[in-house]
Homo-oligomer: A and B are copies of this chain.
Amino acid sequence: MSIDLNCDLGESFGRWSLGHDAEVMRSITSANVACGFHAGDPDVMRQTVRLARDSGVAVGAHPGFPDLVGFGRRNMNATPQEVEDFVLYQLGALYAIASAEGVKLQHVKAHGALYNMAIRDRPLSDAIARAVAAFDRSLIFFGLPGTELLKAAEAAGLPPAAEGFADRAYEPDGSLTPRSRPGAVIHDPAEVVRRVVRMARDGIVTATNGVDIPMRVRTICTHGDTPGSHELTRLLREGLEREGIAVRAVGSA
């Protein structure tokens, strides 16, 4: 029994620092590295890859919309062809930097608005999956289970990894409770640990209506850019290991 802990990292840019990458790297097993469109720059990417390598953390690409000032969080009406091309572009950019540091990419996870739009938009998901498949069919494709993202990955012949969210509430249909609703984010560390342990061990999570729903996941999304978030990630790892659940990268044997 094992689970992967992933986190968005390398989100600094030029003079601006963001997140607690060094601390987070001690607890996670997969790093989603920003590729320069919504965050990250070539120097930051190299530092992040190096830090991941030295921390024994697997590296994945975290491509986003070309919207630096909006941090890739604003929906953009890009065509599937545009999305396919800029995902490929970002993927290659990170691949080159990772190669120079002796690191092989493990996975791909779309960022922010791209992820959220793709969940419900099959042509967009197909575009992302097509870019990844054209580049390297062994890259593991992260996504919310049951959504267009993972369906597209499977159709493209990519190994999918269903992703759970450590501190988010789930609707009865398995979707995430929108952040605008009260209770969407779970702040109690003990509660977060309990829920993740259940997802990891039993493939079950309790939805907002109190009913247990299936939530079989291979990786858990944690956060590192808000105050206290890397502390939560540390507690999460400890809690999982205490329960005898191995924490290891989704691509490790």
Check: A42 CB closer than 8 A to any chain B CB.
yes
Q: Please give, as numbers and ranges, the residues of chain B lying within 8 Å of A85 by CB-CB distance.
A: 41-43, 45-46, 97
Copies in the complex: 4
Interface size on A, residues (CB 8 A): 47
Choice from B42, B71, B77, B81 contacting A75 with Cβ under 8 Å: B77
Q: When the two chains form their complex, are residues A74 and B77 in contact, meaning their CB atoms are under 8 A apart?
A: yes
A190 interface contact, C-beta 8 A:
no
A70 interface residue per 8 A CB criterion: yes
Partner of A14, one of B71, B99, B135: B71
Q: List 24 A-B contacts (CB under 8 A).
A: A13-B16, A13-B69, A14-B68, A14-B71, A16-B18, A36-B89, A42-B82, A42-B86, A45-B89, A66-B69, A70-B82, A75-B76, A76-B76, A85-B97, A88-B97, A89-B93, A89-B96, A92-B92, A92-B95, A92-B96, A92-B97, A92-B99, A93-B96, A99-B134
Residue positions of A touching B, CB distance < 8 A: 11-18, 36, 39, 41-43, 45-46, 66-71, 73-78, 81-82, 85-86, 88-97, 99-100, 113, 131, 134-135
Report the separation of the CA atoms of residues A82 and B43 in the bound assembly, to the nearest whole angstrom.
6
